[in-house]
Amino acid sequence: MKLHKLVFILFFSVFAIAASAQTANELRRKKEAIERDIEQLQKSLTKTANGKKLTLQQINVINTQIRLRQDKIGAINSEIKNLDNQISQNTNTVHTLQGQLGDLKKEYAGMIRFAQRNRNSYDKMMFIFAAKDFNQAYKRIKYLQQFSQYRKKQAGYIENTQQDLNGKIKVLDRTLREKSDLLKEQERERERLGKDKSQQSAVLNNLSKQERSFKQDIASKQRQRAQYDRMIRAAIQRAIEEARREEARKRAAEEARLAAEARAAAAKAKAENKPVPVAPPAAKTKTNSEALTATPESARLSEGFENNRGRLPWPVATGQITERFGMHKVDQATYTNDGIDITTSEGATVRAVFSGTVKLVQNYLGKNLVLISHGEYFTVYQNLKSVNVSVGSKVDTKDAIGTVANTEGSAVLNFQIRRVSTPLNPEAWISK
């Protein structure tokens, strides 16, 4: 029973440690990814900070850097909590093994004392010959043999338990050192976070000195975004009208066929002196969504896009979201972003996030915009330096469509998702 209990404890400990190791690896990968993002943002910030003029991109990068730093501290806290659980489990296992080892040694000492009292062959023979009958004598012989074997096994159990105990103590020591290192790293990250927040305060303090210039920049960006929005809506409207024209053509052909069948049926009924059949009602006008998904191909694209919500690939291989979807307020200036801004590496390739058809390629103020249709859904890729697709091109998921342009010293892609003309939050659609 004690052996079974020991095996169960060791099995449970191994299982728990394996699960903790998996969690620790995930946390370590997350922390390393955050650190890479912070380094890339720091490079971008160094470029933008060289200019004397304060920019919105500079403020966004600092804010994102602070958010990532807080995420990293959170990951470190989770690592420490995970190590605390491992330390607790290993400590309990060590105490259990120490108790089991003590019990095994005590039992083994008892067997040694018994063996000492019956160490010569004469005593063993007397023990056997003292049996009442042959059957009992045979059992005593088997008992002596089994006792000898069990004593050897018991010695092996003691040795194995001692090895397990030494191994657990080493693991416990290593875990304690890892926790100490993490606590030091946590303290360093808190110091860096403090510096980032001080930098943020200095930038916002500088903002008040450049308030007029900054508001002018925001107003200029709003005008540019409004122009882009008009281009996007116009292109989507053209796509809707194109779908409606195709639908009207098919409907007219279908109505002509039904009218011919109705005339033939009426003539036959009149000849046979039967009631003339009533013509079917005209088809109802479809909504914009229904028009965009009228064909089997567009319906499959739309359904496939919707089924991949939360799993779409990013439009760039690496990057950080430095401006989120929706309304933003910086000091006294407010503006709306219909998508997300992703800061990435200079010259990064922009990729289609799903299969579709290019509906718009437009250059405005030296920067390019690409609009791709996926049934009733549309994706927008804005602020491209170069484009390698054209209107009507078919693209597949992750196909390259261009490269990101630099804005205020940073490579920033504005990415949007729309259902017909309604902007949706891309963070809910792309993979985490």
Structure tokens at 174: 């290593």
**Predicted confidence (pLDDT) per residue in 116-148, tens digit:** 665 555 455 566 657 777 787 777 777 766 766
Domains: count for the chain: 3
Query: 209, 234, 252 — which closes off a domain?
Result: 209
Q: Same domain, yes or no, for 151 and 107? A: yes
Q: Same domain, yes or no, for 150 and 251? A: no
Q: Same domain, yes or no, for 188 and 233? A: no
Query: 293, 311, 344 — which closes off a domain?
Result: 293
135-139, 185-189, 190-194, 379-383: which has the minimum mean pLDDT? 135-139
Q: Has residue 36 been placed in a domain?
A: yes
pLDDT at 409 over 80: no
Q: Has residue 25 been placed in a domain?
A: yes
Q: Same domain, yes or no, for 125 and 153? A: yes
Q: Same domain, yes or no, for 201 and 232? A: no
Output the pLDDT for position 286.
Answer: 77
Q: Has residue 35 been placed in a domain?
A: yes
Q: Same domain, yes or no, for 282 and 337? A: no
Q: Has residue 214 been placed in a domain?
A: no
Q: Same domain, yes or no, for 353 and 423? A: yes
* Residue 73 to residues 70, 175, 188, Cα–Cα distance (Å): 5, 19, 10
Q: Has residue 311 been placed in a domain?
A: no
133-163 burial by CB neighbour count: b if 16+ within 10 A, else e? eeeeeeebeeeeeeeeeebeebeebbeebee
The helix (H) or strand (E) run that includes residue 368 is strand 367-374
Structure tokens at 237: 């409207």
Output the pLDDT for position 124.
Answer: 56
pTM for this one?
0.63
pLDDT at 285 over 50: yes
The torsion defined by the Cα of 243, 245, 248 and 252, in degrees rounded to 10, comes to -140
Q: Has residue 43 been placed in a domain?
A: yes
Q: Has residue 50 been placed in a domain?
A: yes
CA angle (221 as vertex; 218, 226 as ends), nearest 5: 125
Q: Same domain, yes or no, for 198 and 236? A: no
Q: Same domain, yes or no, for 16 and 150? A: yes
Q: Same domain, yes or no, for 142 and 84? A: yes
Expressed as residue numbers, the domain containing 351 is 320-428
Q: Has residue 216 been placed in a domain?
A: no
Q: What is the DSSP letter of 53?
A: S
Q: Same domain, yes or no, for 192 and 54? A: yes
Over range 83-107, report the average pLDDT: 76
Output the pLDDT for position 28.
Answer: 76
17-26, 64-73, 360-369: which has the minimum mean pLDDT? 17-26
Q: Same domain, yes or no, for 250 and 393? A: no
